[in-house]
Amino acid sequence: MASNNKSHVVGVDLGGTKILAGVFDADLSLIGKSKKSTKAKRGVEAVIDRIARCVLDAIDECDLKPEDVRGVGIGAPGATDPESGTVIFAPNLEWRDIPLKAALEKALKVPVFIENDCNIQALGVHEKELKGGPRHLVGIFLGTGIGAGVVVNGELYSGFNRTAGEIGHMVLDVNGPKCACGNKGCFEALASRTAIFKRVLGAVKDGQKTLLTEMLGPGLKDMRSGDLRKAIKKGDKFVQKVVEDAAAFTGIAVANVINFLNPEVVVLGGGVMQALEDQMLEIVVRNARQYAMSGVDKGIQILASTLGDDAGITGGAVLARRQTRQA
């Protein structure tokens, strides 16, 4: 499958725990990928070295060489400045003002482009999954935290400080549970994996019975979103209620977005949505329609992304393609 033309691009999803790199061909088909743990605690240089090796592994996996690659697009978990190629602030990595683009270009000898991870996922969904169709799109990604990417007039929108899409801290329930940010009732404190797990653990501590303790032991060690799905499928009403409440709040957040920004499509993604789509999506859509103003949501699609874990690398590939497109 070796190829000598420069039609290939690499997308990278840089997360707090893992790095994923994927090689895409001219049709934006994923032809090979590679994965590494991030090891953020080893420091910035070590992580950048790991990203470079992950990219090279993925390229090698496809029997390609770096010189066959047109560009690398990378999504970083925080505020980024695509023009200077800097990660301004990435709390999970404890990074501030890291010139990621320059460092990776030096290591890889290939043009590198960076963006915020949620923006890049939204871009991937927009171009690969929806074929670039919607003029305005909001992608909402539910994982450890919650973030969004915004596409306006077919282009990524990043706002004044390049931080647009921080929907995780949209207040939905001013008297609701405390959020890590210090406020109360943020979307993220109601529907992220962190919030869901916290509620489950708290209830178990207070004596709540659940199949999860049978599955994982009394401490619920290494609990994952998929465990919640399994428990619900086995009839665990408590877990079902917790997940349904998170879905209900997600629906309200979607309605807030529809009322305010009126995008053509709202896409839901991220690990929580991927693991619990069957348990959550219907409730999200029902609540979004109920809380959207009458008529305002007409014709607007609300759907779950099918890209799953590959949304980030796909978006990275789209970014690299767009940035290296010949005029």
Binding site for a copy of itself (CB under 8 A): 79, 89, 135-136, 148, 150, 152-153, 157-167, 169-176, 181, 183, 185, 249, 252, 255-257, 259-264, 290-300
C-beta of 52 vs 122, nearer to a copy of itself:
122
Q: Smallest distance, Å, CB 138 to a copy of itself?
A: 9
Residue in the block written with tokens 């290296």: 324
Q: Smallest distance, Å, CB 86 to a copy of itself?
A: 14
Order the strands of the 95-98 sheet from edge to edge. Answer: 79-81, 86-90, 95-98
Residue in the block written with tokens 């917790």: 242
Q: Smallest distance, Å, CB 257 to a copy of itself?
A: 7
C-alpha atoms less than 13 angstroms from C-alpha of 280 in its C-beta half-sphere: 33
How many Cβ atoms from other residues are within 10 Å of residue 224's Cβ? Answer: 13
Q: Smallest distance, Å, CB 236 to a copy of itself?
A: 25
* Helix or strand run (H / E) with residue 278: helix 271-291
Q: What is the DSSP string of 174-189?
A: TTS-B-TTSSBSBTHH
Q: Is the dihedral of CA 313, 139, 76, 308 positive or negative?
A: negative
Which residues neighbour 267 within 8 Å (Cβ) at sequence distance 6 or greater? 122, 125, 129, 130, 137, 138, 139, 140, 303, 304, 305
Q: Smallest distance, Å, CB 90 to a copy of itself?
A: 12
Distance between CA 200 and CA 202 in Å, rounded? 5
**DSSP SS3 for 128:** helix
C-beta of 57 vs 264, nearer to a copy of itself:
264
Q: Smallest distance, Å, CB 261 to a copy of itself?
A: 6
C-beta of 6 vs 169, nearer to a copy of itself:
169
C-beta of 266 vs 320, nearer to a copy of itself:
266
C-beta of 2 vs 174, nearer to a copy of itself:
174
Residue 74 dihedral angles phi and psi, to the nearest 5°:
-130, 135
C-beta of 294 vs 326, nearer to a copy of itself:
294
Q: Smallest distance, Å, CB 167 to a copy of itself?
A: 5
In whole angstroms, how far apart are CA 176 and each of 83, 172, 190, 194, 204? 38, 8, 8, 15, 20
Closest by Cα among 115, 91, 86 to 101: 86
C-beta of 29 vs 290, nearer to a copy of itself:
290
C-beta of 185 vs 271, nearer to a copy of itself:
185
Q: Smallest distance, Å, CB 172 to a copy of itself?
A: 6
